[in-house]
Every structure is written in structure tokens, then in C-alpha cells.
Structure 1
Amino acid sequence: MTVVNGKYIEVDSGVELFVQDVGHGDPIIFIPGFTFTTEVFIHQVEHFSKTNRVIVIDPRSHGRSTITLQGNDYVTHGTDLAEVIDALELKNVTLAGWSFGCLTIWEYLKQEGYDNVKSLIFIDMSPKALSTNHEEDWVEGPLNDIGTIYNTYLRNPAGQREFIKAYTTSVMVQRDVTEDELNWLAEQSLKTPYYIASNLFASGMFSDYRNEAREASELVPTLTIVADHWADIATRFTQKISPKSSIEVLGGHLMFWEHSEEFNELVEKFLSGEN
């Protein structure tokens, strides 16, 4: 991907976030998930920058942003998002988070409220990632599986690479990916060192934004897009927690990359008020 209109915004002493800022019109901010980068939103940048101002963020310790030992949690990421919005003087923003990027948005709303927010898009993330009742609650997985990821895979670069590759082929993408695609996706993740990835993983897993999710769906137009593989439980949980959110089902966890045209159409309809 050729990055255009990239800039750096200082969000904390010695910490700069890389921000891609393309196009004109109503602003949309895309926030990638756990250890991923602006690169995964290439199809959204290309599409929506024709009609909107599209901003994509590398969160702290992701991608081109500063790698730091401080603030690798979603409370700080919410504060960082506020700094970016203030620095760019944005108003009436649509916030679109993917996976753990949704946690950043819920935390931002908890801290800052809705004065600058026009609408919200949550891409395939429960507001409460862990529960002992994983048969009924929408969670990332059984507690034992989550513990294995944290204690076994996120202990060195090889383990992180193995985890991301396995997660890509089993959860993120529905079709067969090429070896080059698989290596590229793993490379995006490994720009975040494993010892920071483990902090982010724990922070995300222990987050609980059910109250923020409910409030968000009541105060501004909200769209939740969930993957096919857990569509039933994710839909039921979202209807319970965020009853006023529109809900769509599409592809795997990385549906906006694999099924970009269908994803972009869903977002266009939502932004136009058709949902």
C-alpha cells in the first residue's frame, strides 16, 4: 500500500501516533484492532475518501506509531483518540472500530461523551470479551483458550506470529489466503512487540463496556457488523446489550478486507440513514 497524506500527532510526551488523513467531507475515523495497522483499511480509504474525509490511526505501539512501554491499554488508547480528534479539530465524526479498536471507541465515549460524535460503527467486537457463561454471552472464547493464548503464544515473536497466522486462517478470513497474504498480515501484527501485545491482550480481555455500548446505541446512530461464525450469539447479545443498534452479518473477522465491496455498501447505507 502506498501511504498518502500521512502525518504524526503527539498524544503524550514522546509518543506520536501515525495518522493517515485523506479526502474531504464528513470525517470517518477507522481504528484497527489488536496489533494491526492502518494498512488493513486500504479498501475503505480508497472508497470513502471519494466522498468523505477518511482518517486511519495506528494506535500507540502499532504500525508506524511510537513503540512505548507506557499506556498499552484501552483506557489510554481512548485518551489518545481524543487527542487526535482535538488536534485535527474534527466535528461530527463517525467512529469506526474493528475488534479491539471498538474498545478504544467505547473508552473515548466514556471519557469525552458525544459532543463531536455523529455516528458509530462497531466491527465484530463484544463490549465484554470474557465471561464464565460463554455459551450465552458473546465472548472471544472459553477462558482456558484465552489463557493459553496469553501464557503460551504471546511470550515471544514466534508465538505471536503463530497465533496471528492461525487466527487468520480459522477466524479472520473465510477463503484460502496465499502465503504472501498470510505473511503480510502477520507482519502487520509483529510491528507491535510481543511483550506489548500481551499487555494489550490482557487489557482487552478484561474490559467491560456494556454500559457504554448500551448508551451509545441510545444516543447516536449505531451499526454493529458481526462475522458469520458467531452471528447467532453475537446478534442476540447485541440486541440485549445495545437494543437500538442496527446489526449486519458479513464474512469473517476481517470482512472489511476480504469482502470490501459488500462491507463498504453496508457502511454507505448506514451513513445515508437507510439502515
Structure 2
Amino acid sequence: MTYDLLKIPAAGILSILLGGTAFAGGAYFEVEPGVDLYYEVHGTGKPVVFVPGWTFTTEVFENQIDVFSNTHKVITFDPRSHGRSTVTLEGNTYAQQGADLVKLLEHLEAEKPVLVGWSFGCLATWEYIKLKSAEAAAAHMCIDLSPTPMTAGEGDWTEGSIEDIAGLYNAVQTAQGHRDIVNWYADELMIDQEYTPELSRWIVGQSTNSPPWIAAAYWASGNFSNYMDIAKEVDAKMPSVFVVAEHWADIAEPYLATHTPNSDVHVFGGHMMFWEYPEKFNPILEAMIARAE
């Protein structure tokens, strides 16, 4: 076997030199020529798949991986152009991210997974179901995202006004703007606890592995998505849960009650509540998994 080292991430080169495709708990899968996805598999049993949100990585699920890998096969990955995966000019959309997820889980022979998406990561999990069918998943959890991130319907749960969404898109076009937006969002909406310099470095460090133009492309793709039909199908056919940040409660709860009435809805914390409050979040996920078994 030969390798084009110019196409392999540095950590992937190390794994080859060491004689395998895995390293330090992770591995790489070539989802298409020249595009390697970094992924991790922990534990054995029924697959539970965690998909990070906009520009983030496997690291955000540190408080779930250790717990759920004791009883299940936990799978998580850095989507294309995120984290340790290849930065590529093409396919920086959530439709492609969902297609990549299909290929990765087929490669890992992970059948009937429990799907857990955070933020825009929910778009990838809904796309997985769109491509594979509702019968291909055992359960679905969406952490803090509307199936319609940018619509004009009265009472819709969206990411904000058109002006707000456009403002963020324009702000992330530069490296400084990207850092500033992530710091502001993390401090104001993601984290309840004191936003320390150490926490800032960890959060911003993950996000800025994606260059500004990647961040902008994914922001546009996410907001122009509409997965209401898939969310309704999930609601009707499998255990479905939405975990919602407190700042969305007034709009999200009636919206979800109208459109996905069979789904459980839990409200607490900020946008990253699963990381900050695992003692509240993990039992909710555990209960959903139990319903799927």
C-alpha cells in the first residue's frame, strides 16, 4: 500500500508510521479521495453517535463519552473541515455532512444507531435519516436547534432575525471576527459558569480549526436548511427528544408542541448544557436509549 503524505493530516501520518490507521484513541476514514474524517470509537454494544455542532469537534462530548462507553459503542467524529479532519474546498454543507455520516457509519458497520446531534449537528443527523430512512435509526436527540433555523412563519423557532443571521455571517469572514463571535456566543449563550481564559482557549481553539470561510459556509448552509418534514417523521416513528437552552424556552416549547408533539422536551442551561450539566443531561439521554432498546 502506498500513501500520498500530502493528503493525510499530520496525526494520520503518525498513525501510518506506527503501523495502523488509529492513534491516541482515534482513527481516520477517507470519506472521499483526499478527504479524511477523524473519528473515535469507545466501548462496545449498541451504537450511540454524537455529532458536534458548527465548527466544533469530538472534544465537546467528553462528559458523555466516558459514561456511555461503559455500556454502548460510542462513536463521534470531526466533520469535514472541522478539528482534525481534512479542510476541503468542497462539501462544506450539512447535506454533505449527513452523507459523510452515512459513509462513516457504514464503514463502522454501526446499524440502527441512536443519533445525538448538537446544534447544527442535528442537521447532519436529520440528513442521515433522510438518506437512509427512519427505520435506519433507533432514536434521535436534537440538542438546542430548530428544524427550521431561518423561516418567516409567525411563532417559528429560528436562530434569530434575518439581520442577526446576516450580521454573524459577515462577522466571521475574518480570523479576528471568527474569534470574537465565538467568544461572545460562548460567554453570552453557551456557558452559564464563569467564562475563564482557559475555557475560552478550549472553545475558541476547537472552532478556529475551521478557517473563517469554512465557518461562514457552514453558517449559511445551516440557516438555509429546513428539516421539518424529517423531524416530523422522527417524531412519529422513534423515540425523539429535544434538549433546549433556557433562553429559547418561550418560543421553542410551543413550537415543538405544535410540530413534534410526541417528542420529549427538556429545558435547562445554555447552548452547551450537555457539557456543563452532564448530571442533568446524561440521565435524559440514558432514558431515551432505554426506550430504543
Asked if 1:139 is matched to 2:158, the reply is yes
Which residue of the partner structure matches residue 281 of structure 2?
263
3-state DSSP of counterpart to 1:187: helix
Q: Distance in 2 between matches of 1:228 and 1:254?
A: 11
Asked if 1:214 is matched to 2:232, the reply is yes
Which residue of the partner structure matches residue 54 of structure 1?
74
Q: Distance in 1 between matches of 2:49 and 2:225?
A: 22
> Which residue of the other structure, out of 125, 129, 141, is the alignment partner of 1:105?
125
Q: Which amino acid aligns with 2:145?
A: M
Bigger Rg, which one:
2
Q: Distance in 2 between matches of 1:67 and 1:207?
A: 22
Contact map agreement 1:90 1:116 (CA 8 A) in 2:
no
Contact map agreement 1:250 1:263 (CA 8 A) in 2:
no
Contact map agreement 1:228 1:252 (CA 8 A) in 2:
yes
3-state DSSP of counterpart to 1:208: coil
Q: Distance in 2 between matches of 1:157 and 1:118?
A: 40
Q: Hey, which bits of structure 1, 4+ residues long, moved more than 3 A?
A: none
Q: Distance in 1 between matches of 2:33 and 2:90?
A: 10
3-state DSSP of counterpart to 1:125: coil
Q: Distance in 2 between matches of 1:5 and 1:116?
A: 27
3-state DSSP of counterpart to 1:229: helix
Contact map agreement 1:4 1:20 (CA 8 A) in 2:
no
Which residue of the partner structure matches residue 89 of structure 1?
109
Which residue of the partner structure matches residue 194 of structure 1?
212
Alignment of 1:90-239 (within 5 A): 90-133=110-153, 136-151=155-170, 153-239=171-257
Cα deviation, residue 4, structure 1? 4.6
Asked if 1:253 is matched to 2:253, the reply is no
Q: Which amino acid aligns with 1:189?
A: S
Per-residue displacement from partner, 1:62-81 (whole Å, max 9, x unpaired)?
Answer: 00111101100011111100
Q: Distance in 2 between matches of 1:27 and 1:37?
A: 19
Q: Which amino acid aligns with 1:149?
A: L
Cα deviation, residue 265, structure 1? 1.3
Q: Which amino acid aligns with 1:183?
A: R
User: Larger deviation: 107-116 or 7-16?
Assistant: 107-116
Contact map agreement 2:139 2:288 (CA 8 A) in 1:
no
Contact map agreement 1:127 1:208 (CA 8 A) in 2:
yes
3-state DSSP of counterpart to 1:39: helix
Which residue of the partner structure matches residue 84 of structure 2?
64
Cα deviation, residue 237, structure 1? 1.0
Cα deviation, residue 92, structure 1? 2.1
- State percent identity of aligned pairs: 41
Contact map agreement 2:116 2:140 (CA 8 A) in 1:
yes
Contact map agreement 1:132 1:143 (CA 8 A) in 2:
no
Runs of 5+ consecutive residues of structure 1 not aligned to the other structure: none
3-state DSSP of counterpart to 2:291: coil
Cα deviation, residue 116, structure 1? 2.9
Runs of 5+ consecutive residues of structure 2 not aligned to the other structure: 1-22
3-state DSSP of counterpart to 1:273: helix
> TM-score when scaled to structure 1?
0.95
3-state DSSP of counterpart to 1:70: coil
3-state DSSP of counterpart to 1:272: helix
